[in-house]
Amino acid sequence: MLMLSSAKKIRELMDFFVNEIGLKPSDIVRCPNLLLISLKKRVLPRWSVLQVLMSKNLLKKDIDFIQALIVTKPVFERRFVTSYMDDPEVMMAYRDGLRVQAVVADCKNYSDEGDPELSRT
């Protein structure tokens, strides 16, 4: 299963999970699907929301971060976003995380060949 991910992606995810979130390598080994998800599209937006909720003491101390990262988007949004819609910081954190995702998608869809200004030599 891990062969589906590049070594660079695995290093980036491991670095983030261990150094930013504070997971142990053994936690990641128990849930190897974590190494298949996108850092930019899933992990960063969700971690941003969780950080805001934790900073406001709106989450239990023993939250299962792994579960929060692997649940489906509708489940995550129901548990951690729409439940706190009255808090603008939560909504901003999620929206900003999704904006990062949209910018990455736009960059992937952009082609220099289609722009006459860029194709001049």
Kindly report, residue by residue over 33-74, the tens digit of the pLDDT: 899 899 988 999 999 999 889 888 888 767 888 999 999 999
- Quote the pLDDT of residue 28: 92
Q: Is the pLDDT reported for residue 100 higher than 70?
A: no
Of 29, 30, 38, which Cα lies nearest the Cα of 6? 38
Q: Is the pLDDT reported for residue 78 higher than 50?
A: yes
Q: Is the pLDDT reported for residue 103 higher than 70?
A: no
Report how far residue 19's alpha carbon sits from residue 80's, in angstroms, rounded to the nearest whole number: 23
Of the chain, the percentage scoring pLDDT greater than 70 comes to 74
Residues 6+ apart with CB under 8 A from 103: none
Q: Is the pLDDT reported for residue 21 higher than 50?
A: yes
Least confident of 4-8, 55-59, 114-118: 114-118
- Give 82-85 contacts, CB < 8 A, sequence gap 24+: 84/53, 84/58
How many CA atoms within 13 Å lie on the side-chain side of 111? 3
Do residues 64 and 30 touch, judged by C-beta distance below 8 A? no
Do residues 46 and 97 touch, judged by C-beta distance below 8 A? yes
Over residues 19-37, the mean pLDDT reads 91
